[in-house]
Amino acid sequence: MSNDNPQHAWGIFWMVLTGILFVGVTALVKYLGPRIPAPEAAFLRYAIGLVFLIPMLPSMLKIRLEGRDWAVFAGRGAVHTVAVGLWFFAMARIPIADVTAMNYLSPIYVTLGAALFFGEKLALRRILALAAALIGALIILRPGFREIGPGHIAMLFTAVFFGASYLLAKQASDRCSAAVVVVMLSLTVTIGLAPLAALNWVTPTWKEVAILSAVAVLATGGHYTMTLAFRAAPLTVTQPVTFLQLVWAVTLGALVFHEGVDIYVVLGGTVIVAAVSFISWREAVLKRKALTPVVTATKV
């Protein structure tokens, strides 16, 4: 048995816990419902989340960023703002399983974006994997066989904008520390969402504030446990584990929200996760600098 196996087991454990935390996020947002407009709900989630960054602010004030860094952070904040707003919109309108499965498309868009904008080469195997993932999306949506509502359209664009945010984060992380990248994202998204939330502000109840506070706690915890998973095991080990998130989402939707089980959503999500996992595996085999993110890296 390899000496790495115990560490890999910890990586799998942390990624399983990450999936549970993010499913908790989706469940709470689903429970919140559409009464609070999506931009406002997203704004409150990020504004509350700023509390976790207070200990980091003294050191952040000493950092001097160059103009290029500000441009990258502003661009990422803009696309992530749109992504988060669309995600909250979709979450209140379509089943949890649909949102979870369609969010798996983000790493696919990252791979396409890397080829288009960063000159990454797309070998035939990667092209076939991308095609398989898009087929998975078609299996989920089944245009012509089911009604495709605004929530599904929103999720298609959500995955695109989350993918763009990840690519910009990769650029930023080459020049700045992880702490700076995290803090700047939280600040720029909160600022970006503020005017959108103010346009149609609905005063939240204390219960709704409590729910969004819990969302912020679970999302922060999920990103932290995901970091622990990355440290313990390679992406080729942790990526397939993200499929469990779809299993839990389907179970939660059926048992708690009475959404029923759509076998096509499960099948399509499985195809997409398999394609993303294959791309991650190929990057590891070729010993290249990995660009494909783990599915949970593109989350609120």
pLDDT digits (tens, 9 = 90+) for 90-130: 988 889 999 889 988 888 888 888 888 877 777 888 889 88
Q: What is the mean pLDDT of residues 64-90?
A: 90
pLDDT of residue 204: 95
Q: How far apart are CA 280 and CA 278, in angstroms?
A: 5
- DSSP bridge pairs for 146: 143
Quote the pLDDT of residue 292.
64
CB environment 258-275: b (16+ within 10 A), e (fewer): ebeebeebbebbbbbbbb
Kindly give, in sequence order, each residue whose CB lies less than 8 Å from that of residue 162, ignoring residues fewer than 6 positions away: 80, 83, 87, 103, 106, 109, 298, 299
* Section 194-206 average pLDDT: 95
Q: Where residue 226 falls among pLDDT bands split at 50, 70, 90?
A: confident
How far is C-alpha 50 from the geometric centre of its chain's CA atoms?
Answer: 18
Predicted TM-score of the model (pTM): 0.84
Question: What residues form DSSP beta bridges with 249?
Answer: none
194, 242, 247, 249, 251 from 254: Cα distances, Å: 34, 19, 11, 8, 5
Contact 264, 139 (CB under 8 A): yes
